[in-house]
Structure 1
Amino acid sequence: MTTIHLKTHIKAPILTVFDLSRDISEHEASSNNTREKAIAGRTSGKINLGETVTWRAKHFGIYLKHTSFISAMESPTYFVDEMINGVFKSFHHEHIFKQIGTKTEMTDILKYEVPYGIFGRVFNYFILKSYLTKFLLERNQHIKQLAEL
Structure 2
Amino acid sequence: MIVIKTDLEINAPIEVCFDLARDIQLHTVTVWRHTKERAVEGTCVGRINRGETVTFEATHFLIRQRLTSRITEFERPYIFVDQMVSGAFKSMKHTHEFKERNGATLMTDTLQFEAPFGFLGWIVERLLLRYYMKRFIEYRNNELKKIAEGRQARV
TM-score, normalised via structure 1 length: 0.98
Q: Does 1:11 align with 2:21?
A: no
- 1:78 aligned to 2:79? yes
How many residues are matched?
149
Gaps of 5+ in 2: 151-155
Q: Does 1:122 align with 2:101?
A: no
Contact 2:2 2:112 in 1 (8 A): yes
Q: In the aligned structure 1, how far is the partner of 2:45 from the partner of 2:136?
A: 21
* 1:40 and 2:21 are equivalent in the alignment: no
SS at match of 1:136: helix
2:28 equivalent to 1:22: no
Aligned residue number for residue 108 of structure 2: 107
Offset at 1:102? 1.4
Identity %: 42
Shift of 1:33: 2.4
Q: For 1:135 and 1:44, how far apart are their aligned partners in 2?
A: 21
3-state SS in 1 of match to 2:138? helix
User: How high is the TM-score relative to the length of structure 2?
Assistant: 0.94
What is the distance in 1 between the residues matched to 2:86 and 2:127?
24
**Residue deviations 1:50-96 (CA, integer Å, cap 9, x gap):** 10000000000000000000001000000000000111111011000
Q: Distance in 2 between matches of 1:54 and 1:87?
A: 12
What corresponds to 1:138 in structure 2? 139
- Which runs of 5 or more structure 1 residues have no equivalent in the other structure? none
- Measured on the aligned residues, the alpha-carbon RMSD in Å equals 0.7
Cα distance in 2 for residues equivalent to 1:95 and 1:121? 25
Q: Distance in 1 between matches of 2:26 and 2:130?
A: 23
